[in-house]
Every structure is written in C-alpha cells, then in structure tokens.
Structure 1
Amino acid sequence: MALLDRVPGDLNLYIGGIFTLRRREALQQANITHVLSVLRIPLDQNLFSPFKHMVVEVDDVEDENLLEHFPATNKFIQDGLNGGGGVLVHCAMGKSRSATCLIAYLMQKHNITAAQALSHIRQARSICEPNDGFMKQLELYGQMQMPEQVEETPAYQRWVYQREVELSRACGQAPEAEKIRFEDEHTNGEASKFELRCRKCRRPLATSQYIIQHAASTNTNQSDSEKSAVSPPKNCAHYFVDPLTWMRPELEQGKLDGRLECPKCHTNVGKYAWQGMQCSCSEWVVPGISLSKGRIDEVRSRTSTEIRRPPRSIPPLSPSPAFSRQNL
C-alpha cells in the first residue's frame, strides 16, 4: 500500500490531493486527527469522519486572497500537532493551494523563506508549485514577519488597496471612494527627511515617507530604507506620492484622471491617473499620483536623525539563515 506524502522532519505533517482522503488505512496508520481542506468544490462530509476538519474555500487562481487565511490555517495545523496526532493538508491535486498553506506554516514555525519552505515540501511531494499570485503573497507574508494578525498590518492593508486599484483599473474605472487609502491617515508619527511645499504659497503638500519610488530611481548601493526617503533622480520631472488627505475632494469624485490643486492657493501642482502614468524617465507608475517638480520646492528637515517607514514597493526577500532538515 502506498504511504502518504509526509513532510520531512519531526512534525507529523502530510500533504495530498482530495483522493488522499479515500486511503483510510493509510490515514489511520499515520494517526491523522486533523484535515485542512483548501479548495472550493462540494465535499462529501463522510470523507472527514472522524477527523477535526477545517475548510478554506479558495480557487487556484492568482488573484485569490489566501494570505488573509494564513493565521487561521497556521493555528489549525499547530493545534493538531499539539494534540499529538497527524495533520493532512490537501487541495484538489496537492500542488498549489495546499502547498501554499504548508509553506506559510513552515515559514512561521521555523522563520524561513517561502523558497526554502517550498524546497523542503518538495522532498515529500515533488509536484508542489503554488501559483505566482500565491508565491507573491507568501513573499509578502515573510516581509511582514509572519504576524499573528495579518489584517491589522499596514503592509497587508496597502496590498489590499493595490488590489482594489488594479481591479478598478482593469474595469476602466476609478476606485470607489471608501476604498481609497489615504496614507497620512495611517501614520505612526515617524520623522521625515524632507517635505514638499507649494512653490507659490509654501503650503506643505507631502513628506518624504509618502514618496513612491519607481524603478528608475532605485540605487542598488542603497538600503531599502534609504531608497524610501530620497528624491527622484534629476531626469524625473515628478514626485510620485501616495494618496494624501488634502487630495480627498478630487480623488473621491470617481474620475479616472485629473489635476491636483494646492488646497491653499489653488495653484495646479500635479495630476493623477488611476490607470497609471509614465514618468519623464520612461517608467510607468500605477496608480499615478504626481506632484510636478516645477511647482514644488523640496525643503530638507532640520533634524539630524531620521526614522524612515518601509518603502511602498515590495522589496525582494532578504536571505534567511540556512537551515537543515534537523531544524524542521
């Protein structure tokens, strides 16, 4: 009789497809007590007796939000292991959705990267391959340091906002007013390196932590935190920024694009385009919310010490300490 696909290591953890549930003798020998189903199809409840069962109803598509379920699936897996039994995680084919949830668990359990966890799981089931959307969610999960409450994390909230913008863009519409995220309403009091002021009336319009860096303004010799608080290069005619509260009257009108006026002197200081905007350096930024360098002055902060917030763009994964099978 074929054995179940067991993840290498000391954990009594298994992965498979839906037909694995019909191998009752193998499940019994593995002492399976908990079954996590990650799929959206009608399930025969007789298959799950007498197991403790959890279902996450998601499709295997790149735009499905599986990230929001990681804290719950991690807890379910850990509860099963704490009870002394085995845990089976399955989807339809045992390839993408189930592998994604197992990777998230191993990342949190052992503080490893998504790539390391996937490589480890493939020792048990070589066909495991989360779709590209799920892999990006796992990478974001790692950058967020695998929090217990994903939905309260600013990085997750920005990611959800970006998804809403992309969906609206695909439909040729502006995002709904209540779904626009004005970043300065979520600030935690961090200091800035400089501020941008209207050249005509000197009214402050933005500070460095709300500037979005794009590819042309990336210096490979700088750290990620340094990239988040520097000016765009000289060949860029714009500062691309997050939506800010003073822009609310304009951005909530539901228009795809338009002009931005200084709220004090009503000078035209920039423009926006939810579908994206091409900078003078040829890079596209989506959504494009820009302040024109010709209408703005950059005023450096007088403080010598700066606390910077993370960059808007998602940085690549930093290398994690190597791990061996003995760690798992």
Structure 2
Amino acid sequence: MTSLRDIVNKIDDHLYFGNYRSATDEQTLNKHSINRVLTLMSGGIPEYKRYPNIEYFTVEVNDDINEDLLTHLEITRQVIAEGHRKGQNVLVHCAAGISRSGAAVTAFIMHKYRKTFDEAIEMIVLRRPLAGPNRGFKVQLRLYEQLDYTLDANNPKLRQYLLDRFVVSNRFDSYYDRLKYIESLSTPQYGQQYLCRQCNQLVFHDIHVIQNSSIVDNNDTNNNTTKCSDLYIEPQIWMKKLICHQYYMLDSDSQSSPTCPLKCLHCQQTIGSYKQHFSTFECNCDLHRGLSCLQFKIDLQSLSK
C-alpha cells in the first residue's frame, strides 16, 4: 500500500514534490511524466537507481537547523526554472519529502509569484500537507523574503548571514567558499580601498566593513546614532593561511581570550587584532550592538586609502 509520504504532489505547472522513494520508482516517475529530478540530500541518487530519460541534479544539504540552505536557493530555482522553460516536469525531493525539498519548493514559489514565506508555504501545504521546512530553514526563507528573493553580495543582511552561519563557528573554509559563490551571482560594489600604510598592500574594501545592517539599510547614521572609533572587518582571503595556522596552534586548554596581533601578510606590520579562539569583541555602540561576528578589529592608523 502506498503511504501518504510516498505520494507525489503537483505544486505548480511542471513542478512536483515528493520523497526519495518516489524519485527512484519508475512507475511513479512515468505516471507523472517526470523528465528532471532535483535531489536535496547528501550523495544524491546513485547511478544504478537513475533512468536514462531523466536529467538529475543534486544539492547536498542536510536536514539540520544549522545547515545553510539560503545560499543554495538560486541554483535550486535555476534548475526548476530551466526545466519549466524546456517543458519538463520537475520532481523536487529529499529523503522524506518534508523539510529540505519543502524549503526549496517554497523558495521557488516565493520568487516566481513574489509571495511572502507565509503565503507560499500556505499554498504548498494545501497541495502537500506533509511539507514543513525545519525551523532553521524557515528563518532562512524569511530572510530570503527580506532579501527580495535575490542573493546579492552587496546586501549587508546577506553578508551578515554568512558571518553568523560560518565565521562565528570558525568554519572559515565554508565561509570563503559560499561568499565566493554569492559574489559570482552579482557585481560587488567594493568601494574605497584600504591599504597597509607600510607596504601599500590592499587590506580590505568598504564592502568588508561590518556594521549593523538595520542601521545601514535605514541610512540611520545621523547625530543620534552612537558610534565608536573601532572598525571591524569580515575575514579576508589573504588571512586564510594565517587563520588556519593560528587556529591549530592555539592552546585549547586556555580559558582566557588574549588579544593577538593581526599582521599584514606582505610586510608583517601589525594592522589590527583578534582574540584567541577567534572569540568576538564586544561593542555596544549602535553600529555594532548585537553583532556576534566582531572578530577582526582594524587599527586605522596603520592604513592609508
């Protein structure tokens, strides 16, 4: 007997929503004339369970509240949209057909119809009652709505998301990888250059300066905004080797967070500081209040423009 979980549900024109079992069942695929399968799970569908008349695409994500799905939503949208343009019926699935695929389908409907998260998920649940992104994915989908369904590297909210998702937990390699991908989707407006005063090496740009995105969005930097003299930046690609070396050399038994010098990679001039274990600096000014990613403090006196 076929369970509710194994049923494939039509969500929109050429768009179907199911689970792993339905995505590997030839009878089910033929019944719905599926020509393209989008899998959201680690490993994807193995070759021996694939059929020659179907195109397969895999986005490797786990069903975990801490998993990054947001930065994958553009590729999932493109896979579905391309299938539509070709007149293909697209089946989107994960393991159970609930959370990961539910989030991807929701994001597609949000983008296509300019719907809010609440409107899109309501539409989808009417067609597939099992649909239910986990709470971490729901937060990301609401952010996707705030980003106007676009992954634009110039948006400070998106850059803040990457910092919170990866850098706070010291997953620098993942951060660099996802930031590079996001920046490939748009044309970053880097702004003013900041150079090492001693050797003239590029250190960072305006776009890398960390500030409270709500204040930046509202242009609320008037006289009523409390500011400090400190400047914090996102991790730079030139820091990669230094960060890895320092991270593995840290004394894991140390309970303190002494400040370590951040040096120019080219001339070794001290240009700022960071804390041991990459713990965050605390600042209560309006530009930095509530931010958990103030890990790299810059000494402006050591720089030139």
One-letter code of the match for 2:9? D
TM-score normalized by structure 1? 0.57
| Equivalent of residue 142 in structure 1, options 145, 149, 152 | 145
Cα deviations across residues 178-224 of structure 1 (Å, max 9, x unaligned)?
A: 96x9xxxx75559xxxxxxxxxxxxxxx99x957349xxx8xxx994
User: 2:119, 2:35 → 1: CA distance?
Assistant: 27
Q: Which residue of 1 aligns with 2:183?
A: none
One-letter code of the match for 1:226? N
| Equivalent of residue 71 in structure 1, options 74, 88, 92 | 74
Residues 257 and 230 of structure 1, relative CA distance in 2, 3 Å threshold = farther
Is residue 34–residue 53 contact of structure 1 (8 Å, CA) maintained in 2? Answer: yes
How far off its partner does 1:100 sit? Answer: 1.4
User: 1:40, 1:120 → 2: CA distance?
Assistant: 27
How far off its partner does 1:278 sit? Answer: 4.3
Aligned length: 249
Q: Which residue of 2 aligns with 1:117?
A: 120
Q: Which residue of 2 aligns with 1:276?
A: 280
Q: CA RMSD in A?
A: 4.6
Q: Which residue of 2 aligns with 1:6?
A: 10
The 5 Å alignment of 1:122-271 reads: 122-147=125-150, 150=151, 153-155=153-155, 156-168=158-170, 188-189=190-191, 212-213=211-212, 224-227=217-220, 229-230=221-222, 241-242=232-233, 258=259
Q: Which residue of 2 aligns with 1:266?
A: none
How far off its partner does 1:28 sit? Answer: 2.0
User: 2:101, 2:111 → 1: CA distance?
Assistant: 16
The sequence identity of aligned pairs, in percent, is 24
User: 1:42, 1:13 → 2: CA distance?
Assistant: 19
Residues 128 and 244 of structure 1, relative CA distance in 2, 3 Å threshold = closer
How far off its partner does 1:27 sit? Answer: 2.8
User: 2:235, 2:92 → 1: CA distance?
Assistant: 43
| Structure with more of its chain in helix, by fraction | 2
Cα deviations across residues 110-168 of structure 1 (Å, max 9, x unaligned)?
A: 12223322221111222222223323333333333334xx4x62334453344332122
User: 1:290, 1:18 → 2: CA distance?
Assistant: 47
Q: Which residue of 2 aligns with 1:98?
A: 101
Greater Cα radius of gyration, structure 1 or 2: 1
User: 2:145, 2:131 → 1: CA distance?
Assistant: 19
Residues 118 and 91 of structure 1, relative CA distance in 2, 3 Å threshold = same
Higher relative contact order (CA 8 A, sep 6+): 1
Gaps of 5+ in 1: 170-174, 191-205, 262-269, 292-328
- Partner of 1:146, secondary structure, is coil
